[in-house]
Chains A and B, each alone.
Chain A
Amino acid sequence: GEDVEQSLFLSVREGDSSVINCTYTDSSSTYLYWYKQEPGAGLQLLTYIFSNMDMKQDQRLTVLLNKKDKHLSLRIADTQTGDSAIYFCAERGSGGYQKVTFGTGTKLQVIP
Chain B
Amino acid sequence: SQTIHQWPATLVQPVGSPLSLECTVEGTSNPNLYWYRQAAGRGLQLLFYSVGIGQISSEVPQNLSASRPQDRQFILSSKKLLLSDSGFYLCAWSRPGTGNGELFFGEGSRLTVL
Contacts and interface: CB of A to CB of B under 8 A. Distances in A.
B90 A42 contact: yes
B48 to A, nearest CB: 12
B11 interface: no
A40 B100 contact: no
Which label, helix, strand, loop or mixed, suits the secondary structure of the A interface?
Answer: strand
B41 A104 contact: yes
| B41, B42, B100, B101: most-surrounded residue (chain A CB, <10 A) | B101
A10 B86 CA distance: 26
B35 interface: no
A43 B101 contact: no
Contacts of B102: 33, 45, 48
Contacts of B106: 42
8 contacts: A4-B43, A8-B41, A31-B101, A42-B92, A43-B105, A97-B57, A102-B44, A104-B42
